[in-house]
A and B are shown apart, each in its own frame.
Chain A
Amino acid sequence: MRRIVATLLLALPILLLGSCSRETTPEAPDEVEGNENVAVSTLDVDTHLKILYWQGPTTLNPYLSSGTKDIEAASIVLEPLAHHDVDANMVPILATEIPTKENGGLAEDRTSITWHLRQDIVWSDNTPLTATDVVFTWEYCTAEGGGCTAIDSFRYVERVVAIDDHTVRIEFVKPAPYPYGPFVGSVSPILQREQFKDCLGARAKECTDQNFYPIGTGPFRALEFKANDTVQYIANTLYRDEGKPFFQTVVIKGGGNATSAARTVLQTGEFDYAWNLQVEPEILESMRGAGKGEILTGFGSQVERIMVNQTNPDPKLNEEQRSVYMDGKNAHPFLSDINVRRALTLAIDRQILVDVLYGVSGRPTCNVIPLPEKYVSTNNDDCLTQDIEEANRILDEAGWVLGSDGVRAKDGIRLSLVYQTSTNSVRQSTQSLIKDWWQQIGVETELQNFDGGVFFSTDAANPFTLTRFYADVQMYTNSFEGNDPSNYVESWKCGNVPGPHNSWVGSNISRGCSEEVDALLDALSETFDATERVEIIKQLNDKVVQNVWEIPLIHRARVSARANSLKGFELNGWDSEIWSIADWYRE
């Protein structure tokens, strides 16, 4: 008996291994016809493109995405009416041109916009693209219970109508401040009605086949989708441009972290392209030294900034009071003093942060709107030079007296801060450096960091989120969708302050509130002249920066790496990095 058991024990692992070797043969997905499922290792190296997204794609339906990775992975299959290029300009993709007032596409009063579709586009199943697909996509995203991530693009859309087979008109409920939201950029591409028609609303999430293998108009289509692991694509033979794409097969692999992703392109050469490599500059530079690849940067609207809490986050306050605006009656004990806030921003040497922690992937900035060029204000550039002396002088003048413990105080209030951010080695190093500078102006800092999943959560019961803001200052990167900050500046409205009254759903994180800003925002919503709008947006940027509700630190770029042999593109900071993949080639 004992001997039998012992034998069984020994046999167990062998049995397990035996059973798994049978399972390793991947099954071809149903809708792929023919025998195309070739093992990656046997592919022709020249026309096979290997991309590494260290956060692997979990779905190819961008409307159900759980992160940027999904939107990008879908962008080589599904296409919108227009994309953004590297300079933030719109380029027509499925449309013949960008509608404007001049060409009559955009209504004079901005209540509707009309797009003309190209006539020569077919889906990868050889059916033509029509206006009904565009209308359907709007229905799909706005259907009740669908949980569509791009619904904000359709915020002001009243309805979408097909004028004829290749013309659609989008009608807005009121004059749209920015009419190019819907169907522009990789966040809202066109879905095929035929494929998704039974996937509306709550059923959207049950359509696994559709979500993993969407039929698109793009240069590639998915061949095998393994969520969070590997996506294999094959060239779409019906793609509109003759001779494109250059690559016959593409694979996007997930897993690991940014450093190891950089290594696979720059040092070992296992991959051709790697995405999102926020890594210390010395590490990237040393890896680049191996000579196998290049580092790419693409600047968009991302700014790493410190938010300065305008309300009192004292832990002794109860949930109805802590970090709650309360119509201005709950001001921060010392950050409500503009002198303290100004001293905090003056003490920071942004150039050092760039040199030590960001390298090519960042530049110092004094604005919260860093690009496109026309929106960039030059009124705040004095923050670029650190001035500890001046900061000390301001604090002295304002009556904050240096104590024997090296911390300034006034009326028994000490300048002692809690500084929180998400966990990320660059952020923690930034915290350490800034803590040091603030110490030099007599401000004491306690550092806190939370896992990104906790910090960026919107769980109402979670006290450690950025909307709760149970700290004096907090740091993260914010940006805006597409190339237009119209929606983004609205976050500075007084009415958008998060609090218990709106279950902490609100985008005015710093809780800064002034009549001036609100008045500017009201004016903006009634202004349609492009140059006037730019002026107002610039003024809004200046107000937020000069009130020091937010301390802009670094204009961050996207960082990716490509193998030396991969050519034909620049890194796009405004849209999916890989949407132009049809133009990529190997030399």
Chain B
Amino acid sequence: MLKYLSKRLFFAIPTLLIISFALFAILDLAPNDPTSNLPITIPPEVRAEIKTSLGLDKPFHIRYFKWMEQFFINEPLNLIEEITGLEIGDSESRLRVRSWSSHSPVVDSIVERLPQTLWVVGLSYVFGILIALPIGVVSAYKQYSWFDQIGTFVSMVGFSIPTFFTGLVLIVVFSVWLSWLPSTYDTTHDITDLSSLWYQIKQMTMPVLVLAFYNAAQLSRFMRASVLENLNLDYVRTARAKGLRDRAILLKHVLRNSMLPVVTMIALGVPTIFTGAIITEQIFRVNGIGQLLITGINSADIPLVQSLSFLFAVLIVAFNLIADIVYGILDPRIKYE
């Protein structure tokens, strides 16, 4: 097990390097550029100068190595300095990874935006799971019952109607018609007392609801399929032949076994919490990581998009490993050499 783990970790390094290169190459090839959003009155010659000042005139490999140096050496050093308070080398002149639009360090922007993303997207993920699992189990157990039919209907509609639509419907109903909930998320809001907590709950309700609904729609389908599959297996038959009651079989055996693939799915989905939810964040102006990424992409902010995507890749690789290990622990039949 330990050997397997160290082997996987060792291979993660070249993998991530290759990923970072591929990301950089794609971003570099993409046909948009950081001056696209400037007022049209700014002449092309000035745009060319701005691009030069961003270092865009340098060849591809130099820009890539510069990013690597800033991201893998300078940023970690900076982080160590900030935590320990020590000064390592010449920290003044050390170049950090800076966004091309705000010109501030990318890491700072990410830290600034994590709270709202974790609150909204994280909570919706948890709620999504809490809703999906019971629905999936019950609809499989009572396949083709009314409960199952309604569950199927709702989750299919939930999946085929995108979040930009459900979000807008909620805003029109709850903010415009009923004026119960704010349609804009205030990222500067502090929770100091009960009433400010209540406001936080109110402003989170709609985005969390939209995302949880969408997540649950998907997950409950997989849960249902997994339980159904297990209900058809021989061991259920044997257990029934032995005279065990359906409910006992379901809770003791089927549930455990059918949770297996679902748990991996849930683990694999965790990184998506950190990438945020691009559309939902836009609609409710949550301005978290998802919105940071999309504005970065729209303004061809390569350092920002590259760093964010790379951090996302690290999370994906890490959670993949976690999922595999969990899978191995939950299902002893799978062996790791």
Instruction: Let me know if B190 and A507 touch, CB within 8 A.
Output: no
A506 cross-chain contacts in B, Cβ below 8 A: 44
Set A19, A270, A477: member contacting B40, Cβ < 8 A: A477
Min CB gap B206→A, angstroms: 12
Q: Nearest-CB distance from B311 to chain A (Å)?
A: 15
A498 to chain B, nearest CB (A): 7
Q: Tell me whether A256 and B285 are in contact (CB under 8 A).
A: yes
Cα(A454)–Cα(B109), bound, Å: 25
- In the complex, what's the smallest C-beta–C-beta distance from A513 to chain B, in angstroms? 17
Q: How far is the CA of A465 from the CA of B40 in the complex (A)?
A: 13
Which chain B residue has the least Cβ–Cβ distance from A231? B188
Write out the residue numbers on chain A whose beta carbons fall within 8 Å of the beta carbon of B191.
21, 24
Is B104 a contact of A228 with CB atoms below 8 Å? no
Question: For residues 37 through 58 of chain B, which have their beta carbon under 8 Å from a beta carbon of chain A?
Answer: 37-54
Q: Which of A9-17, A96-104, A188-196, A413-421 contacts B (4 or more CB under 8 A)?
A: A9-17
> CB-defined interface of A307-330 with B at 8 Å, one 1/0 digit per residue?
000000000000000000000000
Asked if A505 lies at the interface with its beta carbon under 8 angstroms from chain B, I say yes
B183 touches A263 (CB 8 A): yes
Q: Is the CB of A151 within 8 A of B98?
A: no
Residue-wise, chain B 324-337 has the 8 Å CB interface mask toward A (1 for contact) of 01100110000000
Docked Cα-Cα span, A67 to B299, in Å, equals: 10
Report how far A268 CA is from B168 CA in the complex, Å: 13
In the bound assembly, the distance between CA atoms of A146 and B123 in angstroms comes to 43
Q: Point out the residues of chain B lying under 8 angstroms from A461, CB to CB.
A: 29, 31
Which B residue's beta carbon lies closest to that of A505?
Answer: B44
**Within residues 131 to 165 of chain A, which ones have a CB less than 8 A from any CB in chain B?**
145-149, 151-152
* A246-272 residues at the B interface, CB under 8 angstroms: 251, 253-257, 260, 263-264, 267-268, 270-271
Q: Which residues of B contact A19 (CB under 8 A)?
A: 118
Q: B143-151, B171-179, B224-232: which lies at the A interface?
A: B171-179
A149–B114 touching, CB < 8 Å: no
Contact B295 A458 (CB under 8 A): no
Q: Are A39 and B196 in contact (CB under 8 A)?
A: yes
Report A-chain residues with C-beta under 8 Å of the C-beta of B118.
16-17, 19-20
Of A66, A226, A251, the most chain B CB neighbours within 10 A belong to A66
Indicate with 1 or 0, residue by residue over A330-367, a CB within 8 angstroms of chain B CB atoms.
Answer: 00000000000000000000000000000000000000
Q: Which residues of A contact B162 (CB under 8 A)?
A: none
A530 interface residue per 8 A CB criterion: no
**Shortest Cβ distance from residue B24 to the other chain A in the assembled complex, whole angstroms:** 16
Partner of B287, one of A17, A65, A208, A228: A228
Distance of A355 from chain B, by nearest CB (Å): 26
Q: B245 within 8 Å of A by Cβ? A: no
The stretch that binds B, out of A111-119, A397-405, A435-443, A478-486, is: A478-486
Please give, as numbers and ranges, the residues of chain B lying within 8 Å of A479 by CB-CB distance.
40-41
Evaluate contact between A462 and B291: CB separation under 8 angstroms: no
Of A145, A205, A230, the residue contacting B98 (CB under 8 A) is A205
B residues less than 8 Å from A251 (CB atoms):
188
With A9-B263, A9-B267, A67-B38 as contacts: A467 and B190 at CB distance below 8 Å: no
Which of A56-64, A388-396, A546-554, A565-573 forms contacts with chain B? A56-64
Q: Is the CB of B40 within 8 A of A202?
A: no
Please tell me if the beta carbons of A457 and B52 are within 8 angstroms of each other in the complex: no
Q: A5-B330, A152-B46, A457-B33 are in contact. Are A68 and B39 (CB under 8 A)?
A: yes
B34 near A255: Cβ-Cβ < 8 Å: no
Q: For the side of the interface on A, what is the size category?
A: 35 or more
- Taking the nearest CB of chain B, how far is it from the CB of A344, in angstroms? 23
Contacts of B46 in A (CB 8 A): 149, 151-152
Q: Are B50 and A149 in contact (CB under 8 A)?
A: yes
**Number of B residues contacting the other chain (C-beta, 8 Å)?**
84
Q: A58-B101, A268-B176 are in contact. Are A227 and B109 (CB under 8 A)?
A: yes
Is A25 part of the binding interface, using a Cβ–Cβ cutoff of 8 Å?
Answer: yes
- Is B292 on the interface with A (CB-CB < 8 A)? yes
Closest Cβ–Cβ distance, residue A12 to chain B (whole Å): 7
**Are B32 and A453 in contact, CB atoms less than 8 angstroms apart?**
yes
- The CA of A228 and the CA of B286, in the complex, are separated in Å by 11
Q: Chain A's nearest CB lies how many Å from the CB of B80?
A: 20
Q: Is B125 an interface residue (CB 8 A)?
A: yes
The answer to whether B287 and A212 have CB atoms under 8 Å apart is: no
Q: In the complex, which residues of chain A have a beta carbon less than 8 angstroms from the beta carbon of B100?
A: 66
For A491-512 the 0/1 string (1 means CB < 8 A from B) is 0000000100001111100000
- The answer to whether A208 touches B330 (Cβ under 8 A) is no
Residue of B nearest to A22 (CB): B115
Report the minimal beta-carbon distance from A53 to chain B, rounded to whole angstroms: 11
The answer to whether the Cβ of B103 comes within 8 Å of any Cβ in the partner chain is yes
Chain B residue numbers with a CB within 8 Å of A66 are 34-35, 37-38, 100-101, 299
A478 to B, closest residue via Cβ: B40
Q: How far is the CB of B111 from chain A (nearest CB, A)?
A: 7
Distance (whole angstroms) from the CB of B82 to the closest CB of chain A:
13
Does A457 contact B175, Cβ atoms closer than 8 Å? no
Whether the Cβ atoms of A454 and B122 lie closer than 8 Å is: no
CB distance from B78 to the nearest CB of A (A): 13
Q: Is the CB of B285 within 8 A of A13?
A: no
Query: What are 22 inter-chain pairs, A to B, with CB distance below 8 A?
Result: A1-B329, A13-B126, A23-B114, A39-B189, A41-B196, A52-B184, A58-B99, A66-B35, A66-B101, A68-B39, A145-B52, A212-B104, A227-B109, A255-B291, A263-B175, A290-B176, A453-B32, A454-B36, A457-B35, A459-B31, A478-B40, A488-B41
Which residues of B approach A to under 8 Å, CB–CB? 29, 31-54, 98-105, 109, 111-115, 118-119, 122-123, 125-126, 171, 175-176, 179, 182-184, 186-192, 196, 199, 263, 266-267, 270, 273, 281-287, 291-292, 295, 297-300, 325-326, 329-330
Residues in A lying within 8 Å of B, measured CB to CB: 1-2, 5-6, 9, 12-13, 16-17, 19-21, 23-26, 39-42, 52, 55-56, 58-59, 64-68, 71, 145-149, 151-152, 202, 204-206, 208, 211-212, 224, 226-230, 232, 251, 253-257, 260, 263-264, 267-268, 270-271, 290, 451-459, 461-465, 467, 476-481, 488, 498, 503-507
Closest 8 CB pairs of A and B: A147-B53, A255-B285, A462-B31, A453-B32, A227-B102, A20-B118, A229-B287, A66-B101
| A58-B101, A66-B299, A145-B52 given; 16 more Cβ-contact pairs under 8 Å | A20-B114, A20-B115, A26-B188, A67-B299, A227-B102, A228-B291, A255-B287, A267-B175, A452-B298, A455-B36, A456-B36, A457-B33, A458-B44, A458-B51, A461-B31, A462-B33
